[in-house]
């Protein structure tokens, strides 16, 4: 079986019309996907995508097309997914455009994820179970260890994975029976009024979600008022995370979050630039006594952290309490395996970023695998959930009692309905043609 | 006067055919430019480009085209170049593709540099003199201070610039009379044999260059042999820099450079990933006694450091001895102003990366301005020089006695001959059509 075509489509959903997804830095996103199909000469195809928020989705599509020579013509049966991912990220000329960051890296991630979708489908397993079925050696070989070994060696990663082999099957059964904890961001978009926020937060609490998250950072008085209303509605102990979407510099972050500290935020997410290794460390230190009764406030980041080297440094600098992987920002499953392994080695929980379009569908597989095979823990762990756009997927996430139910269909849950792909094609699909 | 069109062209030079530019990570570059013209309805246009090494140049061209709505229709006479650059880098949807890194940031840099070319031409001054003519307030307003103020505040930057006002005119005269120190990389490409390296190094020394640079990192025995031959030819005191182009991890970098330490490298450039804040700091510490007689070996990096936030951290962590700005990697002149200011505030010399195609032409203006108005020092400072592809430029760099002669034509020296643009157009120009 061979890959005979790499098909790319520019798909955009007009989410800016309802202010869903609005925050301090992203006032009007149109959730979009540079959507790809690895077409084979067999019965199984692979699907994947790069998530963007509108303009520039076409640039990602062009970048994906530039990777076609690495994909088209490859034998599927003998495809080594470690070697494949390293080739995509180390083309000696394309690497100049990063290296390993920005548009070119987003494109590599989409192609690599599609290859994993194809591999899992060929194996007849959902991706998380396919990953769980792989040996420690195979997982280690999937990782690009360049620039990582001062923090974690392949041998240490292999030992860590081997240590988790006992109980792996039982943990998979546990996930199939009871799912994985989730929190929701759907209550607290910045474009929503207070009543809508409180109403939706209460519903999320009643539904069994482990946390709700509020967007902050545009106006401190607004943040105080909204957070106070949510805290009063949800009670003193219910976890409420806050998310500034990179709005602040270091000093401003410490000051602003300290002013909200008495309300007991569970974490502050993206307080500053995702490039800030030292800045996140300084903010974490600055918030070490800013919570109720002088307790620390956790620092979380990752959705815009562009590769494993940056995650490595956030861990080395003890700059974060929570590692927020994203399924489609870094170079796909392989690079996320590296990040999961490093987070486990440094003892930090992974709470993935999701939402957008299709990010929940993808990233759940990585957290499920993290539990079966890497961290083997659910403590302090939960997957972000946003209740938009799942209807476009052939195998959408299922939330049961505020938890992610285990995906059971073969593959990476990346596939969109053909009808959606046609309708939201940009700029010529029916949803856009007359705008 | 208005900008009426943003024209983009994919220009590629087949440099891989001669191994010019070959190094440990870039074995076969085709030096390329996503070349743009800001066409106005007046007599002056603005030119600029993104430098790449071949494949992917078309992706940069697509990214530049996506910025056209921010440019076309703008009034030139009232264009505020600070506001202009911040808009280009903070489009709320395009920002998702970085933020401020990779393809989208390269594209923003090209457009911003073209706007500066236009502004300097309108003023009838070479860019470095145009910058020198601006007030400290204007320079400070050109910078995007977001994420910088924990290291340098606008007020401190203004004070620094005001302190340098005395003597500014004299330093400009000094540059016009005697130029700016240069070093050359043209001797030591990895694809050259030992005899060619030694011959070219001796010629560079005789020509008056302040340093020659050798590429290292592919094979330690080869590096020892080549470096030893160059050291013996050039004498014990002549500065020889070495450049690994990101080849190593932290431990490997310390070991490899220590093994070359007795040969007295002036600096080790790009020992590891450009994303490594902590890694560069560790390498610098690890090389603190690795030179002859236990002297330190300087660490240099920057050509791939993607924005001012990363440079800030390299300075904060005391991770580098030499700051290597690049004219076309970050978001153009504005972001480089921020980096020059921070380097001066932290007391580190700036020795720009150049070469490729047109990078010497551009970056000389920034170093000349650094001397007149920011650092006001030539100590430990020199601009990289590579002797390729200058013939394609209307206002090429001039090297006199191993120094950059001051550019005197109005603008940013970015303009290529129309004949070159036609001949090297990819894929339809005569140079490429039949390959």
Of the partner residues A59, A96, A276, the one whose CB lies closest to the CB of residue B97: A59
Compute the nearest-CA separation of A239 from chain B (Å).
Answer: 28
**Per-residue pLDDT averaged across A331-342, rounded?**
98
Peptide bond just before B82 cis, omega within 30 deg:
no
Compute the nearest-CA separation of B234 from chain A (Å).
Answer: 32
pLDDT of residue B20: 67
| Residue A198 domain-assigned (yes or no) | yes
Of the partner residues B103, B149, B279, the one whose CB lies closest to the CB of residue A63: B103
Residue A434 pLDDT class (50, 70, 90 cuts): confident
| Residue B42 domain-assigned (yes or no) | no
**Per-residue pLDDT averaged across A197-202, rounded?**
94
Residue A277 to residue B282, Cβ atoms within 8 A: no
Asked if A373 contacts A323 with a C-beta cutoff of 8 angstroms, the reply is no
Model confidence over A351-397: pLDDT tens digits? 999 999 999 999 999 999 999 999 999 999 999 999 999 999 999 99
| Residue B98 domain-assigned (yes or no) | no
Contacts of B91 in chain A (CB under 8 A): 55
Compute the nearest-CA separation of B314 from chain A (Å).
Answer: 10
Residue A28 to residue B95, Cβ atoms within 8 A: no
Domain that holds residue A326: 168-420
| Residue A134 domain-assigned (yes or no) | no
Residues 6+ apart with CB under 8 A from B299: B267, B268, B271, B280, B283, B284, B287, B319, B320, B321, B322
**Per-residue pLDDT averaged across A252-279, rounded?**
98
Judge whether residue A19 has pLDDT over 80: no
Residue A147 to residue B307, Cβ atoms within 8 A: no
Contacts of B306 in chain A (CB under 8 A): 101-102, 275
Residue B313 to residue A277, Cβ atoms within 8 A: yes
Is the confidence metric ipTM above 0.95 for this complex? yes
Model confidence over A157-191: pLDDT tens digits? 999 999 999 999 999 999 999 999 999 998 877 77
Asked if A184 contacts A197 with a C-beta cutoff of 8 angstroms, the reply is no
Residue B56 to residue A97, Cβ atoms within 8 A: yes
Catalytic-role residue among A280, A306, A353, A365 = A353
Compute the nearest-CA separation of A341 from chain B (Å).
Answer: 18
Compute the nearest-CA separation of A56 from chain B (Å).
Answer: 6
Of the partner residues B27, B146, B278, the one whose CB lies closest to the CB of residue A277: B278
Of the partner residues B63, B146, B249, the one whose CB lies closest to the CB of residue A146: B249
Residue A275 to residue B101, Cβ atoms within 8 A: yes
Of the partner residues A103, A250, A313, the one whose CB lies closest to the CB of residue B97: A103
Q: Are strands B3-12 and B32-40 parallel, antiparallel or unpaired?
A: antiparallel
Contacts of B66 in chain A (CB under 8 A): 55-56, 58-59
Asked if A136 contacts A158 with a C-beta cutoff of 8 angstroms, the reply is yes
Beta strand residue intervals within B356-413, DSSP E: 383-385, 399-400, 403-404
Alpha-carbon span B215 to B224, nearest angstrom: 11
Residue/partner pairs of B255-259 with CB below 8 Å, 24 or more apart: B256/B216, B256/B217, B256/B220, B256/B223, B257/B283, B257/B287, B257/B290, B257/B297, B258/B286, B258/B287, B258/B290, B259/B220, B259/B224
CA A323 to chain centre: 10
Model confidence over A79-102: pLDDT tens digits? 999 999 999 999 999 999 999 999
Residues of B designated as active site: 215, 353
Q: In which residue ranges of chain B is pLDDT below 50?
A: none
Number of domains chain B contains:
1
pLDDT of residue A27: 75
| Residue A334 domain-assigned (yes or no) | yes
pLDDT of residue B25: 72
Cα dihedral sign, A61-A79-A144-A299: positive
Alpha-carbon span B34 to A243, nearest angstrom: 37
Alpha-carbon span B316 to B152, nearest angstrom: 10
Residue A99 to residue B246, Cβ atoms within 8 A: yes
Buried b (16+ CB within 10 A) or exposed e, A119-150: bbbbbebbbbbbbbebebeebbbbbbbbbbbb
pLDDT of residue B188: 73
Alpha-carbon span B270 to B243, nearest angstrom: 6
Closest A-chain CA to B246: A147
Residue A63 to residue B59, Cβ atoms within 8 A: yes
| Residue B101 domain-assigned (yes or no) | no
| Residue B72 domain-assigned (yes or no) | no
Choose, out of B16, B53, B59, B270, the residue to mutate when testing the contact with A (most A CBs < 10 Å).
Answer: B59
Closest A-chain CA to B248: A147
Residue B272 to residue A28, Cβ atoms within 8 A: no
Judge whether residue A18 has pLDDT over 80: no
Judge whether residue A20 has pLDDT over 70: no
Asked if B171 contacts B131 with a C-beta cutoff of 8 angstroms, the reply is no
Compute the nearest-CA separation of B149 from chain A (Å).
Answer: 7
| Residue A235 domain-assigned (yes or no) | yes
Closest B-chain CA to A356: B96
Contacts of A310 in chain B (CB under 8 A): 275
CATH assignment at residue B287: 3.20.20.120
Report the alpha-carbon angle A66-A71-A75, nearest 5. 170
Choose, out of A102, A248, A272, the residue to mutate when testing the contact with B (most B CBs < 10 Å).
Answer: A102
Contacts of B94 in chain A (CB under 8 A): 55-56
Say what the alpha-carbon torsion angle B420, B421, B424, B428 is, to the nearest 10 degrees: -140
Of the partner residues A92, A102, A104, the one whose CB lies closest to the CB of residue B26: A92
């Amino acid at each position: 079986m061979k890959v005979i075509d790499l098909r790319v489509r520019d798909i955009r959903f007009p989410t800016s019309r309802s202010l869903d997804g609005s925050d301090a830095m992203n006032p009007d996103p149109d959730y979009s996907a540079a959507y790809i199909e690895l077409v084979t000469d067999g019965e199984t195809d692979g699907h994947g995508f790069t998530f963007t928020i509108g303009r520039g989705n076409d640039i990602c599509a062009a970048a994906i097309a530039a990777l076609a020579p690495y994909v088209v013509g490859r034998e599927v049966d003998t495809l080594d997914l470690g070697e494949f991912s390293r080739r995509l990220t180390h083309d000696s000329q394309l690497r100049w455009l990063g290296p390993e960051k920005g548009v070119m890296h987003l494109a590599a991630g989409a192609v690599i994820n599609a290859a994993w979708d194809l591999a899992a489908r060929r194996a007849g397993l959902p991706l998380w179970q396919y990953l769980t079925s792989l040996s420690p050696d195979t997982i280690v070989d999937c990782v690009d260890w360049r620039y990582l070994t001062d923090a974690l060696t392949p041998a240490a990663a292999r030992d860590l994975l081997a240590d988790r082999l006992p109980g792996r099957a039982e943990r998979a059964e546990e996930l199939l029976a009871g799912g994985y904890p989730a929190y929701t961001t759907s209550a607290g978009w910045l474009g929503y009024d207070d009543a809508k926020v409180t109403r939706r937060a209460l519903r999320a609490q009643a539904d069994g979600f482990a946390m709700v998250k509020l967007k902050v950072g545009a106006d401190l008085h607004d943040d105080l008022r909204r957070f106070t209303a949510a805290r009063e509605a949800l009670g003193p102990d219910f976890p409420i995370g806050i998310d500034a979407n990179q709005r602040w510099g270091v000093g401003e972050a410490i000051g602003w979050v300290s002013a909200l500290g008495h309300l007991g935020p569970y974490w502050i997410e993206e307080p500053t630039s995702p490039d800030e290794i030292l800045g996140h460390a300084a903010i974490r230190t600055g918030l070490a006594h800013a919570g109720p009764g002088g307790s620390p406030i956790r620092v979380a980041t990752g959705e815009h952290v562009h590769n494993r080297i940056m995650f490595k440094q956030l861990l080395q600098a003890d700059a974060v309490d929570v590692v927020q992987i994203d399924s489609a920002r870094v170079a796909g499953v392989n690079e996320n395996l590296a990040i999961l392994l490093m987070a486990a080695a440094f003892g930090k929980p992974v709470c993935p970023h999701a939402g957008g379009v299709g990010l929940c569908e993808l990233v759940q597989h990585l957290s499920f695998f993290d539990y079966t095979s890497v961290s083997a823990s659910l403590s302090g762990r939960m997957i972000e959930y946003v209740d938009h756009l799942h209807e476009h997927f052939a195998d959408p996430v299922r939330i049961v009692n505020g938890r992610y139910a285990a995906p059971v269909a073969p593959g990476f849950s990346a596939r969109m309905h053909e009808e959606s792909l046609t309708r939201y094609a940009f700029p010529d699909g029916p949803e856009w043609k007359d705008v």
